[in-house]
Amino acid sequence: MSKPANLPQRLEHMLQQAVALQRNGALTEAEELYREILELKPRHLDALQLLGALALQTGRLEEGVAWLKRAVAVNARLAPVHSNLAYALNALQRFEAALASADRALALQPQFADALNNRGNALAGLNRPADALATFDRALTLSPDCAPAWNNRACVLRDLGRAADALASCDRALALEPAYPDAWSNRGNALSDLNKPQEAERCYRRALELAPAFADAWNNLGLTQIDLGQHEAALSSYERVLEVNPDAVETHWNRALCLLQMGDFDAGWRSYEWRWARNRISASRREFAQPLWLGDFSIDGKTILLHAEQGLGDTLQFCRYAALVSKRGAKVVLQVQPELTRLLTTLDGVDQLVEEGGALPHFDCHCPLLSLPLAFGTNLTSIPARTPYLHADSDATRQWRDRIDARMDARMDTSTNRKLKVGLVWAGGNRPHVAELRKNDARRSMTFAHMAPLLDVPNVQFFSLQKGAAAQQRVGTPAEQQVIDYTDALHDFADTAALVANLDLVISVDTSTAHLAGALNRPVWILNRFDTCWRWMLERSDTPWYPSATLFRQPALGDWDSVMHAVRDALAVRSAAHARAA
């Protein structure tokens, strides 16, 4: 059957009708017409690219990519098609391919602001925020009224730790488009970074007024409700996300942390397994031919590999489970970070200790350390809380005692042995390359200057246990000579453990040294941020994980002054009691 002689005119008429329908929101009818055109002429370029754009408009990303690729096969020299393809690939998190498509668009049309915007998003997805910012700035030079570029620019400014600039960028977007839900939500994120949760909450609420099913805004609202101490409300917000998208990884993760904070361990440990689907953690997931053990089969007579994950504090907290695993009849191989290897030779239940990166022996099954509470069905009454489960080397402990005594003798301070010996840690590690961790690190840390109220408590000798860049905050201050610093001699946690064993008390922010002191059963006061890590739960001054620990909590987000005044009062009481006993 031959095609009619007037086919080109008919196709053009059909195309004009379809475009008009699409512009007027009659998307189903427009799609039907595009498909009719392609039945008559399968390589009709306009119908292919417009059908691709329509598929993207209706959220069918994979289908949109397929149509746009067919359009490129017909004519690879149309910059808008490559730019739309970059947009779709970004939405599918195929950032390398999206960057390539955006670059092809820009090779054809260098001053194409839309392609620059899509290129910036691809670079942001590839964790190249500085390059992304430069690209968004180029786009805005060409098109200063492009609200999406201002909004996307705000996201990478947050990634670069520039929350105030991110807020200003969101405000530019909203000045151009006041009813822009994404910009309202991102404005809330910037305010959250600036520790302004009430203002952040108002922004998320505005975003949800404009888009009631906006999953990211519900998720972000939940995080801010945590910052406001509204945990039940946060769980409700997370449930709204999961109604829309049951596989929302970040929401499952945030829900897990909230449940654990609230002491709902049964649901919390199960949800915590969603961590392996997160982009930030999935890359470190260990893949073995041997099965994962989660308490679901007998390990009697088997060899099991327990392997560290996440931070040093996590390993110190959860290595305690090795003894429970051993009691199930298994031979335990434990693989941990190099900094912990010497210390963990003292851990019960371990048959073989392996340093990360070292060759592994034969094993029959495996379990990451933070999945062990799930495997054992741990609840508040069954936490394996017997301490100490780690021990300082006795010879090293004696050497540190002699070293401290010799220093005091040299100072001719005959009262020092009667003084309370207190170790100080005022900052956790700094991981600026990960926005989420950078925010937590900033919130859990204080400056050495915040320690000032403690330093005039009588009958106390302070020792620095602070490592890293924050240790330099003490240097050159009037209080420098009040704090003895042996940290240059602390090469791993076995060294730190031997020094801590000679102290009467450790006062530390939420970092690995606090876990070390707790595992050694040494008295430790943990200075805890308001939006507490899940492991310290809520409204407790104690913790079932470490019987020797006392928690001093911020009464409001960022309020270290109240914490330090409470600690000073408690330290004065303890120091006086110690002096009387001496």
Read off the pLDDT of residues 259-296 as tens digits, 9 standing for 90 and up. Answer: 999 999 999 999 999 999 998 787 788 999 999 999 99
Say which CATH architecture domain 394-581 belongs to: 3-Layer(aba) Sandwich (3.40)
- Which pLDDT belongs to residue 2? 47
The structure's pTM equals 0.88
- Amino acid in the structure at residue 250: E
Half-sphere exposure of 576 (CA within 13 A, CB side): 6
- Which pLDDT belongs to residue 421? 97
Q: Give the residue from 525, 415, 507 showing the smallest Cα distance to 464.
A: 507
Residue that the structure tokens 């829309």 belong to = 244
Q: Give the residue from 365, 358, 359, 322 showing the smallest Cα distance to 337.
A: 358
User: What is the C-alpha to C-alpha distance for residues 542 and 537, in angstroms, rounded to an integer?
Assistant: 10
- Which pLDDT belongs to residue 413? 56
User: What is the C-alpha to C-alpha distance for residues 331 and 233, in angstroms, rounded to an integer?
Assistant: 45
Axis crossing angle, helix 181-193 with helix 163-176, rounded to the nearest 10: 160
Identical topology for domains 200-279 and 303-375: no
Helix (H) or strand (E) holding 336, with range, is: strand 331-336
State pLDDT tens for residues 463-477: 999 999 999 999 988
Q: Compute φ and ψ for 484, nearest 5 degrees.
A: -75, 135
- Which pLDDT belongs to residue 409? 66
Residue that the structure tokens 């991102």 belong to = 186
User: What is the C-alpha to C-alpha distance for residues 558 and 196, in angstroms, rounded to an integer?
Assistant: 10
Q: What are residue 491's DSSP bridge partners?
A: none
- Which pLDDT belongs to residue 177? 97
Q: Compute φ and ψ for 353, nearest 5 degrees.
A: -105, 130
DSSP state of 74: H
Q: Give the residue from 74, 30, 76 showing the smallest Cα distance to 53.
A: 30
Neighbours of 339 (CB within 10 A): 18
Distance of CA 235 to the CA centre of its chain: 19
Please report, in tens digits, the pLDDT of each residue of the chain (582 residues total): 445 558 788 778 877 887 787 788 888 887 787 788 777 788 777 777 787 788 778 888 888 788 788 888 888 889 999 999 999 999 998 999 999 999 999 999 999 999 999 999 999 999 999 999 999 999 999 999 999 999 999 999 999 989 999 999 999 999 999 999 999 999 999 999 999 999 999 999 999 999 999 999 999 999 999 999 999 999 999 999 999 999 999 999 999 999 999 999 999 999 999 999 998 787 788 999 999 999 999 999 999 999 999 999 999 999 999 999 999 999 999 999 999 999 999 999 999 999 998 999 999 999 999 999 999 999 999 999 999 999 999 999 999 999 998 887 666 555 556 899 999 999 998 766 666 777 888 899 999 999 999 999 999 999 999 999 999 999 988 888 899 999 999 999 999 999 999 999 999 999 999 999 999 999 999 999 999 999 999 999 999 999 999 999 999 999 999 999 999 999 999 999 999 987
The fold for domain 303-375 equals Rossmann fold (3.40.50)
Full 3-state SS string of 481-534: HHEEECHHHCCCHHHHHHHHCCCCEEEEECCHHHHHHHHCCCCEEEEECCCCCH
Domain spans in the chain, listed from the N-terminal domain onward:
1-30, 200-279, 303-375, 394-581
Strands 460-464 and 420-425: parallel
Q: E strands, 357-413, where? A: 365-368
Q: Distances from the Cα of 479 to the Cαs of 171, 251, 410, 416, in angstroms?
A: 43, 45, 20, 18
Cα Rg of the chain (Å, integer): 29
Q: Give the residue from 5, 42, 43, 37 showing the smallest Cα distance to 18.
A: 37
- Amino acid in the structure at residue 49: Q
Residue 532 tokens, joined: 């507490």
Q: Give the residue from 350, 345, 340 showing the smallest Cα distance to 315.
A: 340
- Which pLDDT belongs to residue 432? 61
Cα dihedral 183, 187, 193, 196, rounded to 10, equals -160
Residues 6+ apart with CB under 8 A from 470: 426, 427, 430, 445, 447, 448
- Which pLDDT belongs to residue 1? 44
- Which pLDDT belongs to residue 20? 82
Residue 236 tokens, joined: 């409700």
Residues 247-276: b if buried by 16+ CB within 10 A, e if exposed: ebbbbbbbbbbbbbbbebbeebbebbbbbb
Residue 395 tokens, joined: 């010879």
The fold for domain 200-279 equals 1.25.40
Residue 241 tokens, joined: 């996300």
Cα dihedral 480, 484, 490, 494, rounded to 10, equals -140
State pLDDT tens for residues 407-459: 876 665 555 568 999 999 999 987 666 667 778 888 999 999 999 999 999 99
Residues 6+ apart with CB under 8 A from 556: 530, 562
- Which pLDDT belongs to residue 345? 95
Neighbours of 219 (CB within 10 A): 24
- Which pLDDT belongs to residue 415? 57
- Amino acid in the structure at residue 67: W
- Which pLDDT belongs to residue 3? 52
User: What is the C-alpha to C-alpha distance for residues 407 and 47, in angstroms, rounded to an integer?
Assistant: 84
Residue that the structure tokens 């600026």 belong to = 432
Residue 473 tokens, joined: 């905050």
Half-sphere exposure of 50 (CA within 13 A, CB side): 24
